Amino acid sequence: MRVTPAKRKWTGTLPDKFIATLVELVSAEALRETVEALAAFPTRHTFSPHLGEAAGRISDQFTAAGYTDVVRRPWSHAGHSGDNVVCTKPGTGSGDPVIIVCAHYDCRMEDLNNATARAPGADDNGSGVAAILEIARLLAPVALSATVRFVAFSGEEQGLWGATEYAAQLHAAGTDVYRVINLDMVGRPPEDGSVTVERDEGNAVPSNDAASQALGAVMAQAAASYTALPVKLGPIYASDYMPFEAHSDVTVGAYEGEGNPHYHRTSDKPATLDYGYLAAVTKTVLATLLAEALDVADEARSAVDLYIRDSQADTGSQPSGAPNEASPDLWVRNSDIQVGDDPELGHQTPVNGVPNFLYVRVHNRGTAALGGGVARVRTYQGDSGAGATWPARFQPIGTLVIDQAIPAGGSVRVGPFAWTPHSVDHERLLAIASAPSDHSVPDVYPGELDTDLLVRFDNNVGRRDVAPQGP
């Protein structure tokens, strides 16, 4: 079945801008590196000694992303055994519901029991493992309300052995499994370039079907909002979500659909994948996970929306258009404010090596006023040379609390921030406004961001590049 979810407009309401910013960080190159590393093992057949080596590689990659709770949980079935690799990202909420994002890392040849033949398993399922590792890498610094467990299963091709035992272990321990999102073959697009969102249409338990289909709708909307992927809907079928479904859990899957001619063959090699497509599916799953677990103080329902213009024409749109390096809401007065200078006279060329005075205008395009004393503005200076990255290339100037209320549709001036330029011709000024009901992207994502991405995607952030002279 084909569906066409509505393309969502940029509403300026949150938390869309957080999701939009984070999905921009998905790296096709990082995905390719993981697929190539996994496919380099002669095989990852569950009966092969290389299975454990692959588990070690995956475990190391979670650890390198900054996670400290990474374990190999053994399973056994009919005289065979293997490890599931489980990386836990603790949630901030109470009650601790768990979202499982999973992919199997074992693979096979045409002969299911041939544990020695060359089996790269790039699409099936190096692609799914690469996606969960990339999502884990990007989410490492982001606080989420739910606990997320990234799980790489083995024994899948043999009969879902690893997932079956893990699902039983979780339910025996009384774990509140809130969602299960499985990725199995997501690197080689079908002819129409679509992704299939798999939902529960019955199976062992009917009571979880409606919630699964609702989650599938979230995933379909994520694809429409943040990628160009067409979406098909299909059933969950023959992969690691099935044992969870049998325990009544709410499951969905992402799948490229049938038709890969290299399926379960020696020719399932990294070069047969489309890494732009794999990145788009990864973005879809990342956005789905964030929609379920990024809980930033009910911002989506907040009637306050602060912004700093990126250009004269900008009304706070996310992302804003170019240019964005000369915000009319950041301006410098270079004279001594103690002797009666009027900051509203506009921007002056800064004088190098001596204190200047930065002002910031903050607008509220929401439908409700923001009271005084709750919002703050942080300002920074940095070298405006190429490659300037937030926050590494910036130094704080100062923070001021906004004392006045900001009416709906109104604005206030904040300042002065005293600052001393240190480089003739090249400095970059940045201002970030935020309130408990309207966070900025750096409040949520403390990792590195391209400055341009931050300024365009977060309407709470404004920038002005300046050319200090003299004195």
Q: Which residues bind Zn ion (CB under 5 A)?
A: 124-125, 184
**Minimum CB distance to Zn ion smaller for 124 or for 299:** 124
At its nearest, how many Å lie between Zn ion and the CB of residue 34?
A: 16
At its nearest, how many Å lie between Zn ion and the CB of residue 282?
A: 17
At its nearest, how many Å lie between Zn ion and the CB of residue 128?
A: 7
Euclidean distance between CA atoms 260 and 267, whole angstroms: 10
Give yes or no for a cis peptide into 15 (omega within 30° of 0). Answer: yes
Euclidean distance between CA atoms 207 and 464, whole angstroms: 55
DSSP H or E segment with residue 379: strand 376-382
**Minimum CB distance to Zn ion smaller for 125 or for 384:** 125
At its nearest, how many Å lie between Zn ion and the CB of residue 185?
A: 6
214-235 b/e with 16+ CB inside 10 Å = b? Answer: ebbbbbbbbbbbbbebbbbbbe
Give yes or no for a cis peptide into 125 (omega within 30° of 0). Answer: yes
Closest by CA to 171, choosing from 213, 205, 215, 130, is: 205
**Minimum CB distance to Zn ion smaller for 125 or for 381:** 125
**Minimum CB distance to Zn ion smaller for 77 or for 264:** 264
**Minimum CB distance to Zn ion smaller for 91 or for 187:** 187
Q: How far is CA 435 from the centre of its chain?
A: 22
Closest by CA to 172, choosing from 182, 164, 162, 180, is: 164
At its nearest, how many Å lie between Zn ion and the CB of residue 186?
A: 10
Q: Half-sphere exposure of residue 8, counting CA atoms within 13 Å on the CB side?
A: 18
**Minimum CB distance to Zn ion smaller for 124 or for 458:** 124
**Minimum CB distance to Zn ion smaller for 108 or for 283:** 108
CB atoms closer than 10 angstroms to residue 395: 11
Total count of residues recorded for the chain = 471
Euclidean distance between CA atoms 154 and 166, whole angstroms: 11
Q: Find the radius of gyration of the CA atoms of the chain.
A: 25
Q: Give the list of residues 6+ apart from residue 84 with CB closer than 8 angstroms, or none.
A: 72, 73, 74, 75, 151, 152, 153, 154, 162, 163, 165, 166
Euclidean distance between CA atoms 263 and 319, whole angstroms: 40
Beta strands in 48-200 (DSSP E): 70-77, 80-89, 98-104, 147-153, 177-183, 195-199
At its nearest, how many Å lie between Zn ion and the CB of residue 122?
A: 12
At its nearest, how many Å lie between Zn ion and the CB of residue 104?
A: 6
* Residue with tokens 């599916």, as numbered in its chain: 281
At its nearest, how many Å lie between Zn ion and the CB of residue 162?
A: 12
**Minimum CB distance to Zn ion smaller for 125 or for 212:** 125
**Minimum CB distance to Zn ion smaller for 184 or for 305:** 184
Reading the block at residue 217, the tokens are 């709708």
At its nearest, how many Å lie between Zn ion and the CB of residue 187?
A: 11
**Minimum CB distance to Zn ion smaller for 185 or for 375:** 185
Query: Residue type at 109?
Result: M
At its nearest, how many Å lie between Zn ion and the CB of residue 106?
A: 8
DSSP states of 241-253: THHHHHTT--EEE
**Minimum CB distance to Zn ion smaller for 25 or for 119:** 119
At its nearest, how many Å lie between Zn ion and the CB of residue 229?
A: 20
Reading the block at residue 24, the tokens are 């921009």
